[in-house]
Chains A and B, each alone.
Chain A
Amino acid sequence: GNSVTQMEGPVTLSEEAFLTINCTYTATGYPSLFWYVQYPGEGLQLLLKATKADDKGSNKGFEATYRKETTSFHLEKGSVQVSDSAVYFCALAANFGNEKLTFGTGTRLTIIP
């Protein structure tokens, strides 16, 4: 079946540090890949997405590249801010037209000033 494996948390970084959160997946076919972010007390928001191999999704300084050869979609940001403190979820949709998402377990990120 489909699955998403995320880097275990929690992750604590200092402000302006470089961030990487690892995500790998198992799926048949050609999935679409997503990163969602959940701020304290809120629902999930789509952060970025990539729908085919070698696509790079980007938003708010975050980037992730769809690597089919390594089945990965790692999230990166060059300089984190305190406001980036949140829980980050990697997710996949197995096939276009299949509307269900499979989520990873989430990675809690805390940025200290």
Chain B
Amino acid sequence: DAGITQSPRHKVTETGTPVTLRCHQTENHRYMYWYRQDPGHGLRLIHYSYGVKDTDKGEVSDGYSVSRSKTEDFLLTLESATSSQTSVYFCAISDPGSYNEQFFGPGTRLTVL
């Protein structure tokens, strides 16, 4: 299995509070991604990174920000959590030239009350 961990694995928070989710990889892959998974929507890309300090928006980036100061860590921040951000969040990694094969972390279940 690819070495990808996510923390925390479960979190319950209240509307309006800031939340940071962490993705850590030991594979030295260049690309990292954050997705959210919701019933009826499959996986939707929030943000992605193609290198340290290089990030870009995905299709559902509103309300989220990311940072990548080291190759191995990719942080997802909800500046002010809302109930619509209740979801399961997955991190993924890939390397150039791999035909876009992505490896996924175990996920973080976030509940915003």
- CB contact under 8 A between A105 and B99, given known A43-B90, A44-B90, A99-B50: no
Give the number of chain B interface residues (Cβ < 8 Å): 25
Binds B, one of A13-21, A59-67, A69-77, A90-98: A90-98
Quick check: B58 and A100 within 8 Å, CB to CB?
yes
Quick check: B42 and A104 within 8 Å, CB to CB?
yes
- CB contact under 8 A between A96 and B41, given known A44-B90, A45-B104: no
B79 in contact (CB, < 8 A): no
B94 in contact (CB, < 8 A): yes
A25 in contact (CB, < 8 A): no
Of B40, B42, B58, B92, most buried by chain A (CB within 10 Å of CB) is B42
Bound CA span A96–B40, Å: 28
Bound CA span A96–B98, Å: 9
Quick check: B96 and A97 within 8 Å, CB to CB?
yes
Complex contacts, B33 vs chain A, CB 8 Å: 100
A42 shortest CB reach to chain B, Å: 6
Q: Which residue of A lies closest to B106 (CB)?
A: A43
A4 shortest CB reach to chain B, Å: 8
A37 shortest CB reach to chain B, Å: 11
A-B pairs, 6 with minimum CB distance: A93-B100, A43-B104, A105-B42, A103-B42, A44-B104, A103-B43
Q: Which residues on A are within 8 Å of B, measured CB to CB?
A: 32, 34, 36, 42-46, 49, 51, 89, 93, 96-101, 103-106
18 contacts between A and B (CB under 8 A): A32-B99, A32-B100, A34-B100, A34-B101, A43-B90, A43-B104, A43-B106, A44-B43, A44-B92, A44-B104, A45-B104, A96-B99, A99-B48, A100-B100, A101-B45, A103-B42, A104-B42, A106-B42
